[in-house]
Amino acid sequence: MALLPILCYPDPRLHTVAKPVAQVDARIQSLVADMLQTMYEAQGIGLAATQVDVHERLIVIDVSEDRDSPMVLINPRVLWVSEQTHVNEEGCLSVPGIYDSVVRHDAIRIEAMDEKGQRREVQAQGLLAVCIQHEMDHLLGKVFVEYLSPLKRNRIKTKLVKAKREERA
């Protein structure tokens, strides 16, 4: 297993639209193991392949308290969303230190494959539903700050570019 570098906003690669995974093989299983290790190490509850510069439709998630219930979603597809929405506080490993409110569907149902290539359906609500919607946005090249006002987004961009510059100096 290996820790993978996480792309940081405003890296343009975060806006790449991911392609479907063609085959769930040893390469994908190894990527899943690396992404899980990277997500746990970074103390995140989710990670999309886009964030580690792999542009294939693959997500890992673990919203459990004990961090022992990994979920792997390959080629996820939305089947249903609730009409009801909710404002949630979100963060992102690609936008370190920034948390803000985003409106999401309360509940969703998706289909995806797991790491064995088995089709599964997931009905989600609460934090799991929020996290799946956030990670599926990553696969479309969308970062949560794009839901914020241009003013807020530009402030975040400036702050992170400055932080990166200082880190390099």
Task: List residues binding ligand K1U (CB under 6 A).
Answer: 43-47, 51, 90-94, 130-131, 134-135
Distance CA 48, CA 137 (A): 9
Q: Which stretch binds Zn ion (CB under 5 A): 2-10, 26-34, 85-93, 104-112?
A: 85-93
Q: How far is the CB of 73 from ligand K1U (least distance, A)?
A: 13
How near is the Cβ of 138 to Zn ion at its closest, in Å? 6
The listed partner (Zn ion, ligand K1U, none) that binds 130, CB under 5 to 8 Å by sort, is: ligand K1U
Which residue pairs, CB below 8 angstroms and at least 24 apart, start in 64-70?
A: 67/40, 70/36
Look up residue 25 and give its two tokens.
Answer: 């093989």
Among 49, 92, 102, 139, indicate the residue that binds Zn ion (CB under 5 A). 92
Of the candidates 29, 9, 22, the one whose C-alpha atom is nearest the C-alpha of residue 70 is: 29
| Minimum CB distance to Zn ion, residue 53 (Å) | 14
Whose Cβ is closer to ligand K1U: residue 26's or residue 103's?
Answer: 103
43 binds, among Zn ion, ligand K1U, none (CB under 5 to 8 A by kind): ligand K1U
Which residue's beta carbon is nearest to the bound ligand K1U?
A: 44
Instruction: Please tell me whether residue 7 binds Zn ion under the rule CB under 5 A.
Output: no
Active site residues: 135
CA–CA separation, 104 and 29 (whole Å):
30
b/e burial code for range 32-61 (CB count within 10 A of at least 16 → b): bbbbbbbbbeeebbbbbbbbbebbbbbbbb
- How many residues contact Zn ion, by CB under 5 A? 1
32/132 with CB nearer Zn ion: 132
If one asks whether residue 8 binds Zn ion (CB under 5 A), the answer comes out as no
